[in-house]
Amino acid sequence: MTTASYLVIGASHRTCSGVIRDRLATDDAEVPGVLERLRAVGVTQALWLSTCDRVEVQAVHPRPNEAALAIAAVMAERVGMATADFSDQLYTRAGPDAIRHLFAVACSLDSQIIGEPHILGQLKAAHRGAATLGLTGPELEAVLQAAYAAAKRVRSETPIAEGATSLAAAAIQVARDLHGDLKRCSALLIGLGDMGTLVLDGLREAGLPRLTIAAPVDRRAEAAARRLSGHFAPWADLDSALAGADIVVTATGLGRYILSTAMMEAALKRRRRRPIFVVDAAIPSDVDPAVAGMDGAFVYDLADLERVALQGRVGREAATQAAWSIVDEAVAAFARDRAERAAVPAVAALRAHFERERRRLLADHSGLDAGSATRLLVNRLLHHPSEALREMAADQDGVGLAERAAAERLLFRLFRLDGTAAEERAADERAADERDEDERRESGRHLQ
């Protein structure tokens, strides 16, 4: 029986440039086509997770190395690169490492902002998309459900999510201090990073009525605008969109400055110096540091918002460590459960074999007394194992000796022969002590 292995292959903010991630990323309408492409190359249990921080395939396959190459080829095909040129921008996890990675993703421990709440919903949406196309199976379902359970524990047993939400709350506080009633403001989201989306969610809940979205890939920005009930601004019109925004949230993480001093000066001039509150939620930064020194531009990065939120770093580190402890505990429990399930067919087969021998013996020797019947049954059950051990003993080369030693160790472990032998020795010693005591008492009586 071939055992399926868990596999994760993808590109994230740690391994891949923002430009490549944007080309690799998918919107909802494109996902079915990508999943069908995975099916076509032989990956039949998989989901495609596309977020601003990562694009990755979480899969199950009996030949993980072969599947990893096939998945990498599909990804390279999407960005228009040769697989060999693209592979150095990918990460690959297999087996226990893949399981731990998946759990960490679900618990938002692998995000740019630890504890951000969006990733779990995105993972579940990717799961639903794969299930709709029949690309899930028992192994993938099992690991995903275990990951969701771990995420629930992390949310309920640690304050890890408080860090991300407090940053959004701090942004709302600064926006109100600068602009007053947010119902009179408009915002521009540049890029679709998770922290930027989180800040915008908070601003919308606080009453912000008007939102415009721009991103380096126009189709992604347009899809996000529909999803968030906002307006779409083409990337080529970013200067005009900037001039119309009271609040700007940048979240591209492209590794270069998106907002320059020249752009900001032009926008402030068109606004007649009305101030702009800028939240630089990107890692690395989207905003030229010189912008913070301009009159009318109020720039806060994530560290600034953390100070506003009075979020203690020690407390956040402790929460993160506690979350990782839960993840490691959940991964170990999942591995134990899968190992126990894998052993069930062998145990069932062994039990069925014993039962067949018992019935055959009763049918062939119905008149035997209990003692004779049980001795005969034991001999029958041990016949084939004994023959196999004798064959191993006859094979005196290194392989045969090692095989016999491994078989003997397994027998001692399966039937607890070490424990049985120890118990028998202890029983013999107790019986000998009792005999000695009886003899001493008998000798004492004779002497009297």
First to last CA, the chain: 75
Residues in the chain: 448
Architecture of domain 162-312: 3-Layer(aba) Sandwich (3.40)
* β-bridge mates for residue 301, sequence order: 280
Lookup: tokens for 328: 């490691």
Top-confidence range, 151-160, 336-345, 383-392: 151-160
Confirm or deny that 37 is annotated as ligand binding: no
User: What's the rounded Cα separation, in Å, for the pair 341 and 437?
Assistant: 52
Instruction: Return the higher-pLDDT residue of 349 and 72.
Output: 72
Task: Please report the pLDDT score of residue 63 as a whole number.
Answer: 92
Domain 5-158 belongs in CATH node 3.30.460.30: yes
The closest of 139, 146, 148, 203 to 176, measured between CA atoms, is 203
Task: Please report the pLDDT score of residue 43 as a whole number.
Answer: 95
Q: Where are the domains of the chain?
A: 5-158, 162-312, 351-413
User: What's the rounded Cα separation, in Å, for the pair 230 and 210?
Assistant: 7
CB 190 within 8 A of CB 225: no
CB 270 within 8 A of CB 243: yes
The sign of the torsion formed by the CA atoms of 259, 262, 268, 273 equals positive
pTM listed for this prediction? 0.67
- Is 52 noted as a catalytic residue in this protein? yes
Lookup: tokens for 416: 């607890």
Top-confidence range, 261-275, 335-349, 361-375: 261-275
Instruction: Categorise residue 443: left if φ over 0, alpha if ψ from -120 to 50, beta otherwise.
Output: alpha
Residues 6+ apart with CB under 8 A from 148: 106, 120, 124
The residue type at 272? R
Q: Quote the Cα angle for 356-362-367, to 5°.
A: 170
What residue has token string 């606080």?
206
Work out the pLDDT band at 332, boundaries 50, 70, 90.
very high
Task: Please report the pLDDT score of residue 55 as a whole number.
Answer: 92
Confirm or deny that 192 is annotated as ligand binding: yes
- Model confidence pLDDT, tens digit, residues 243-255: 999 999 999 878 7
Task: Please report the pLDDT score of residue 430 as a whole number.
Answer: 64
Lookup: tokens for 407: 């078989």
Q: Quote the Cα angle for 226-229-234, to 5°.
A: 55
Work out the pLDDT band at 438, boundaries 50, 70, 90.
low
Per-residue pLDDT at 237 exceeds 70:
yes
Confirm or deny that 448 is annotated as ligand binding: no
Confirm or deny that 116 is annotated as ligand binding: yes
- What is the rounded average pLDDT of the residues 384-394? 79
% of the chain surpassing 70 pLDDT: 88
Top-confidence range, 183-192, 199-208, 301-310, 314-323: 183-192
Torsion of CA 240, 242, 245, 246, to 10 degrees: -140
Q: Which of 16, 52, 107, 185 is catalytic?
A: 52
Per-residue pLDDT at 275 exceeds 90:
yes
